[in-house]
Structure 1
Amino acid sequence: MQKVPALGIFIILLTATSAAALVSVENLRKLDIAETQLWDPALSPDGTKIAYVAYDDAHNQQVFVINADGTGETKLTSDVNKKWGIAWGPDKIAYVSFGKDGLEKIFVMNPDGTDNKQLIPDNTRQGSSSEDKPPVWAAPSWSPDGKSLAYTSPDDVQRQKMYIVNSDGTGKRQLLNDDSRQWSPAISPDGKNIVYVSYNSRLKEELFIVDVNGTGKRQLTFNEIKKNYPVWGPDGTITYVSYENLTSSGENVFAINQDGTNKRLFVDGDYRQRSPSFSSDGRKFSYVGINPSGIVKITIGDTAGITATPAPTVITPTATAPTVTKTAHPTPIATGTPAAGGVDLTTMLLMLVIIAIVLLVILIIANTLSKK
């Protein structure tokens, strides 16, 4: 009988095990709701509801909440200002709108729409608009414990910068003090890192990661294709919106590991895909799908391949950021605790157990073959 090399068996089994561990999405279903123009949906932490912006009967943009099965739509806001950038935290919903000074401001409210108020009482812009370069509508991002938010604000030469602020509007601090533009920040499920979009040295949009204390900045992607909406999923997975290649006409949701490996198409279908969002445990996923006619539908699904769920870590911003002066801009159009290497402790232990079992099987096979 021909002997099978033990190393070959090990490599095949280990490769299959690694591939099976990738987070994916399944059971996708489109919500049957009346609005065909809506944007910026955000899943509730428990995955049972979705908040989004759409037009009311008076054609004013409002924040709505609907059950994940498409029933029970409720309007949470009633003012006439434009709205975008929804972020659903542990006990509050944040969004961006225009304040009394005509500048973009972050507002927070209870999930039922009560206690709606401006978060940071200063004269800075707390968001991005279509006149910014690049033209994005950046949403804030909650820490997993709900005690702070990350957001973008342009400096005095209109370069977007990332800030972290306490949930009561105090303790604002700038995250990175360099010349780069930074937008679309998203805090990791363990509260230790922030993924965001910035330019590389060739002025191409790439994903970067930085620690919440502003250290350890590192580039995650290198393909020089436009990117936006980075969002953390389970097990160190990061989803974002980009294009298959430089000539693609429609955006898709892609996924990548925290260490930059295993880039893959996360959602297949729809002409355009935007606004990916996960529940806090990572087991529910939603996004916006747009067909060639411009009809917008929220799609929700279940995630598969999860090996661990990270526990929240408290973030306490301390320093105060410098004051910046902004100008008004127009309104939007509808449109396990990971380690630095991308593998959490639970996953690592699981992999070690699997490797031990594989090695034991190899030894048994080798011993059996040697007796033939």
Structure 2
Amino acid sequence: MNFNLKSLKYFIPCLGLMTACNSNNTEQTPPTALLDTVALSQKAIALAYQDGQKIVATSIDTLKQISFGGATDPAISPDGNKLAYTLTDSTGGRSIWIADMENKSQGKLQVNSNNFYQAVWSPSGATVAFSIFNPKSLWKIGVIKTDNTGYKTIDSASNINVYAPTWKNETELLGHDLNHLYTFDIQGKIVDTKLIADLIGKDFSVASSNRFFYTSDGKKLIFNVGNTDILEGLTGPSEAVYILDLASKKVDRISPKGVNVPYLFVTTDDRIFYSGAEKPFTQSKIYVSDLSGNIKTIVDKGTNPTGTLK
């Protein structure tokens, strides 16, 4: 492994992960990663995103970065000291791993499943939520503390699918079933159910990957959904980022027309990160916006951004 100060890189060997590096071995060999000797928190890491087959963790100006291949679903912790990501084994099983950027260690979340992915950090960074496929062949929300204690499946007894978990606050989570937006407490009880069409109108379509975020004051809802835009050259419905004022019921568009936005992330200090592509829809850029729709391009090639607190 070669490191340099301009572009610090590490990779995870044996990314078959759940099979040993040597096909003659019967025991699974977990991956390891060697991080730079300088703690990444001192490098002001503020953003993580996908660039093709690699993950990049970078400063907001992208001048300092570290990257590695073979992983997906990057999720930087609110303080920028940890990075969660998904690894896929040779049989298609998915699991979430966390790299501690301070002590340069990494480990798999101890969840009794071979299909859980796409971590999202609680506002304090103490707990991770994720999508998990349960024994009833339903999608649910899993939660676990980063020290691998307190694991539970939210709403495990019901027969509804719940997609795209996000945190409303430290003790409540959001998820949806394409038609309803649910709020769960950390113990798994449904504390609120809203019909999505009643919230945002009937002119939008919701996919399992679409996410909903409350603003820090709880007065607005930020989300990406399909719309009726016709974008020549785009396969499938166009998606965009919107913001709903819960008091006035007014929905405003954040992302510009002509940009398809399949991925959204909102920090707990209300910065809106999203990745989107314009015609010919072959390369996605990463943008950041405030609640007023003031947009800045921050990465010219990338998808699936997550950001830290300022």
Q: TM-score, normalised by structure 1?
A: 0.56
- Over alpha carbons, which structure has the higher Rg? 1
**Letter of the aligned partner of 1:166 in structure 2?**
D
Counterpart of 1:209 (choices 237, 243, 248) is 243
SS at match of 2:288: strand
Question: Does 1:152 pair with 2:171?
Answer: no
- Which deviations, in whole Å up to 9, do the C-alpha atoms of 1:291-346 show, x marking residues without a partner? xxxxxxxxxxxxxxxxxxxxxxxxxxxxxxxxxxxxxxxxxxxxxxxxxxxxxxxx
Measure, in 2, the Cα distance between the counterparts of 1:214 and 1:94. Answer: 31
**Letter of the aligned partner of 1:142 in structure 2?**
W
- Which deviations, in whole Å up to 9, do the C-alpha atoms of 1:239-294 show, x marking residues without a partner? 20101x21141212112332223x331123x4xx1221122xx23xxxxxxxxxxx
- Which deviations, in whole Å up to 9, do the C-alpha atoms of 1:56-111 show, x marking residues without a partner? 69874221110236820111135442222311102321000101210111001111
What is the aligned partner in structure 2 of residue 7 from structure 1? none
Higher relative contact order, structure no. (Cα contacts within 8 Å, ≥ 6 residues apart): 1
- Do 2:216 and 2:269's aligned partners in 1 also have CA atoms closer than 8 Å? no
Deviation (angstroms), 1:117:
1.3
Q: Which has the higher helix share?
A: 1
Measure, in 2, the Cα distance between the counterparts of 1:115 and 1:58. Answer: 28
Measure, in 2, the Cα distance between the counterparts of 1:31 and 1:92. Answer: 24
**Greater Cα offset, 36-45 or 92-101:** 36-45
Counterpart of 2:162 (choices 126, 130, 138) is 126
- Do 1:186 and 1:230's aligned partners in 2 also have CA atoms closer than 8 Å? no
Measure, in 1, the Cα distance between the counterparts of 2:263 and 2:174. Answer: 14
**Letter of the aligned partner of 1:163 in structure 2?**
Y
Counterpart of 1:68 (choices 77, 101, 125) is 101
**Letter of the aligned partner of 1:126 in structure 2?**
V
Counterpart of 1:231 (choices 260, 265, 274) is 265
- Do 1:141 and 1:187's aligned partners in 2 also have CA atoms closer than 8 Å? no
**Identical amino acids, percent of aligned pairs:** 21
Measure, in 2, the Cα distance between the counterparts of 1:196 and 1:50. Answer: 24
Which structure 2 residue ranges, 5 or more long, are not aligned? 1-58, 230-236
Question: Does 1:221 pair with 2:255?
Answer: yes
Which structure 1 residue ranges, 5 or more long, are not aligned? 1-23, 128-138, 156-160, 284-372
**Corresponding residue pairs, total:** 235
Q: TM-score, normalised by structure 2?
A: 0.66
Measure, in 2, the Cα distance between the counterparts of 1:258 and 1:69. Answer: 32
1:20-59 matches, cutoff 5 A: 25-31=60-66, 33=68, 36-55=69-88
- Do 2:61 and 2:298's aligned partners in 1 also have CA atoms closer than 8 Å? no
- Do 2:172 and 2:186's aligned partners in 1 also have CA atoms closer than 8 Å? yes
Runs of 4 or more above 6 Å deviation: none
What is the aligned partner in structure 2 of residue 107 from structure 1? 142
Deviation (angstroms), 1:222:
4.0
Measure, in 2, the Cα distance between the counterparts of 1:57 and 1:94. Answer: 24
What is the aligned partner in structure 1 of residue 219 from structure 2? 192
